[in-house]
Amino acid sequence: MSDYPYNVIQAEYDGTHSYLLEYISKCKSGEILIGHELMLMLDILLTHFDDPEIKVDFEDGHKRIKFIETKCKHFEAPFAGKPFLLELFQKAFVEAIYIFKIYDNEINRWVRLYQDILFLVARKNGKTPLISALCLAEFFCGELGTRILCSSNDYEQADLMFQAIDSMREESKSLEKRTRSNIKGIFFGNPKKPKKTGKFSYKNKGQIKKISAKTGAKEGKNIKVGAVDEVHELKDNTSTMPIRQAVSTQHEPLYIELTTEGVVNDGYLDERLIEARQVLNDELERPRWLIWLYTQDNEQEVWQDEKSWIKSNPGVGVIKKRSFLKKMIDEAKTSKSMRVFVLSKDFNIKQNNATAWLTTEDIVNEQTFDLEDFRSSFAIGAVDLSKSGDLASARIFLMKPGSHKKYTYQKYFIPESKLEQLSKEDRERFKEWIRQDLIRVSPRNENDFSLVTQFFLSLYKDYGIRVYKVGYDKWSAVYWTKEMEECGFDCVRVSQEFGSLSEPMKLVEADLKSNLINYNHHPIDKWCLENTALKLSTKQEIMPVKVQGKEEQKIDGAVTMIIGYRIYIDNRTEFLSLVGR
């Protein structure tokens, strides 16, 4: 069969229609557009039909496809209550898992070829419902005592798959009356008919349960099917290896990893994809590993060719709305954090989780102002005390009535000993900034944080500027906050984590792009912004970190901008009323 021209690959094999062959034929002819990596896997699968050591048996695969389409129903809008009718790419995927058999001399029978599955597809293409339906099909169609484990990096994500399975079970009267569910899992047996015998009675000790990477005691479980969702969040294999070992006692185990791309550097998925691509390129032998990757061939086609989006989104137009993708692309063009998220989650293009935050155009701003223009005004304060032996930053934000623009005045602080540890280039730069009174130096090895207090006091003494609230990070702040409060300042701690910093960081980015932040053309602010990268969480939250390769550079000025914006967001109404007086 592999000798056939690509455009005439037959969808029949020994009189049976094959969804996999139909899919391969349409992909080869160009009717269905896929990426190069999936095409490599399909080429491997095509050779199996001619391999004398591999038996092609459609019974198990088609039985599960029929079960899903006739017994499973969707449970979420807009398809709630409707039959789970599989798309061709989904049928081909299920077929690929089940139809190929090899003879196992150890147990003297034919067994499924593929035991490990890696399924990579962009978000909102139905991957979790599909694998959930497949697990439910395996529960009913598989052998007696089939035990299934749903897992993910956190309990909430693992519960999504478990709840999907349970909801499909409840939607079907025939499945619901043969099973029961409780907080521990899903089990066979109708409580109303405890004495009934047969595969779907209490006699069947099969079960479906859930765990997370944070759950202990994963070793020792004897399961047949292990499904791990969103493996891109895993840092290493400590949570997957026990599951893989737990299925090792089975004659026909099934271990499935389903995921989108992620932003965790050097994480578990990175290692798996390196090996997967080696297998696809015939550089590594893993004959029992089915690698099903929906990926783009390059980033440029995402921006230039809308038709290429189907490569990473096989469900676009049916499961996933094309209008949603267009909206995401439009937002990604104007927001760096959105760009990172969209490329990784919607197009499976790996993104560094510490990528540069702003462009040069965003940062460069030659606007200046005179602090005298804000005499007797109210301000918001922000400090990044950092470690006592490093650079520290303090600033205020000022606004004018009826304007959205923020004017920020700042001062930096550094201990004398730190100057000698700088590179020659940075040392000269810092000495110049000190001469310009942009940095104040503390003697010896530690910052004298009373200089920070004096900075805020001098603003009132010299200009009558009253600081409404001062946001601060946690480093070395105990004695300093006590000193500030004794001087009459209201200090508010801002946690250095995603939940606190994401919203203000996004607003700082938007305001910089719109020229709504006048940082008085301050060279240290510009330098800190250039050194700042964004770290992205799986919840699309961001926080500032140092650009990779610039670990010795400073981002304190950017951090105080974000801290100040946190205080502004939380107190916007009251602060603006003070500004308008």
Q: Which long-range contacts (CB under 8 A, 24 or more apart) does 51-57 make?
A: 53/102, 53/103, 54/100, 54/101, 54/102, 54/113, 55/100, 55/101, 55/102, 55/103, 55/110, 56/13, 56/14, 56/99, 56/100, 56/101, 57/99, 57/101, 57/110
Coil, strand or helix at 493: strand
- Domain boundary among the residues 294, 313, 345 is at 345
Q: Are residues 224 and 299 in the same domain?
A: yes
Biggest alpha carbon–alpha carbon distance for the chain: 92
Give pLDDT, residue 6: 46
What residues are paired with 57 via a beta bridge? none
Q: What is the mean pLDDT of residues 65-82?
A: 90
**Which band of pLDDT confidence, cut at 50, 70 and 90, is reported for residue 217?**
very low
Whether residue 352 is contained in a domain is answered as: no
Q: Which of the two residues, 434 and 423, has the higher pLDDT score?
A: 434
Q: Are residues 276 and 407 in the same domain?
A: no
Determine contact, residues 383/470, Cβ cutoff 8 Å: yes
Buried b (16+ CB within 10 A) or exposed e, 135-164: bbbbbbbbeeebbbbbbbbebebbbbbbeb
Q: What is the mean pLDDT of residues 133-138?
A: 96
Whether residue 350 is contained in a domain is answered as: no
Q: Are residues 392 and 295 in the same domain?
A: no
Number of domains in the chain: 2
Q: Are residues 372 and 331 in the same domain?
A: no
Whether residue 1 is contained in a domain is answered as: no
Pairing outcome for strands 532-536 and 185-188: unpaired
Digit-coded pLDDT (tens) for 386-400: 766 789 999 999 999
Q: What is the mean pLDDT of residues 402-427?
A: 92
Percentage above 90 pLDDT, the chain:
73
- Three-class secondary structure assignment of 8-75: HCCCEECCEECHHHHHHHHHHHCCCCCCHHHHHHHHHHHHHCCCCCCEECCHHHHHHHHHHHHHCECC
- Three-class secondary structure assignment of 141-158: HCCCCCEEEEEECCHHHH
Q: Does 460 score more than 90 pLDDT? A: yes
Q: Which residues neighbour 501 within 8 Å (Cβ) at sequence distance 6 or greater?
A: 494, 495, 542, 543, 544, 562, 566
Give pLDDT, residue 264: 76
> Which one-letter amino acid corresponds to residue 89?
F
Determine contact, residues 128/229, Cβ cutoff 8 Å: yes
Q: Which residues neighbour 361 within 8 Å (Cβ) at sequence distance 6 or greater?
A: none
**Which band of pLDDT confidence, cut at 50, 70 and 90, is reported for residue 27?**
very high
d(C-alpha 341, C-alpha 328), whole Å: 9
Whether residue 353 is contained in a domain is answered as: no
Q: Are residues 572 and 484 in the same domain?
A: yes
- Helices 556-570, 523-531: inter-axial angle, 10-degree rounding: 90
Give pLDDT, residue 444: 87
Whether residue 351 is contained in a domain is answered as: no
d(C-alpha 329, C-alpha 324), whole Å: 9
Q: Are residues 209 and 91 in the same domain?
A: yes
Give pLDDT, residue 213: 61
Digit-coded pLDDT (tens) for 34-67: 999 999 999 999 999 999 999 999 999 999 999 9
Q: Are residues 381 and 526 in the same domain?
A: yes
Closest by CA to 97, choosing from 146, 58, 133, is 58
Question: Residue 287, preceding bond cis, omega within 30 degrees?
Answer: no
- Domain boundary among the residues 295, 319, 345 is at 345
> Which one-letter amino acid corresponds to residue 321?
K
The DSSP result for 164-182, as a single string, is: HHHHHHHH-HHHHTTEEEE
Counting DSSP H helices and E strands in the chain, the numbers are 21, 23
Closest by CA to 557, choosing from 384, 429, 369, 419, is 384
Residue with tokens 């519960």: 159
**Which band of pLDDT confidence, cut at 50, 70 and 90, is reported for residue 476?**
low
Digit-coded pLDDT (tens) for 524-544: 999 999 999 998 887 889 999
How far is C-alpha 109 from the chain's CA centre?
42
- In this structure, of 108-117, 148-157, 314-323, 463-472, the range with the lowest mean pLDDT score is 148-157
Determine contact, residues 445/389, Cβ cutoff 8 Å: yes
Percentage above 70 pLDDT, the chain:
95
Q: Are residues 169 and 114 in the same domain?
A: yes
d(C-alpha 436, C-alpha 406), whole Å: 23
Q: Are residues 167 and 45 in the same domain?
A: yes
**Which band of pLDDT confidence, cut at 50, 70 and 90, is reported for residue 219?**
very low
**Which band of pLDDT confidence, cut at 50, 70 and 90, is reported for residue 81?**
confident
At 291, which CATH number? Answer: 3.40.50.300
DSSP-derived letter for residue 531 is: H
Give pLDDT, residue 1: 46
**Which band of pLDDT confidence, cut at 50, 70 and 90, is reported for residue 298?**
very high
Cα angle for residues 92, 350, 309 (degrees, 5° grid):
50
How far is C-alpha 182 from the chain's CA centre?
30
Q: Are residues 370 and 456 in the same domain?
A: yes
d(C-alpha 506, C-alpha 527), whole Å: 19
Residue count of the chain, please give it.
Answer: 581
d(C-alpha 349, C-alpha 229), whole Å: 18
Q: Are residues 383 and 431 in the same domain?
A: yes
At 374, which CATH number? Answer: 3.30.420.240
Coil, strand or helix at 552: coil
Domain span at residue 51?
6-345
Closest by CA to 386, choosing from 429, 409, 418, 425, is 418
Whether residue 11 is contained in a domain is answered as: yes
Give pLDDT, residue 43: 97
Whether residue 354 is contained in a domain is answered as: no
Whether residue 166 is contained in a domain is answered as: yes
Q: Are residues 235 and 366 in the same domain?
A: no
Digit-coded pLDDT (tens) for 346-389: 999 987 766 778 888 999 988 999 999 999 999 999 999 876 67
- Domain boundary among the residues 315, 345, 375 is at 345
Determine contact, residues 387/475, Cβ cutoff 8 Å: yes
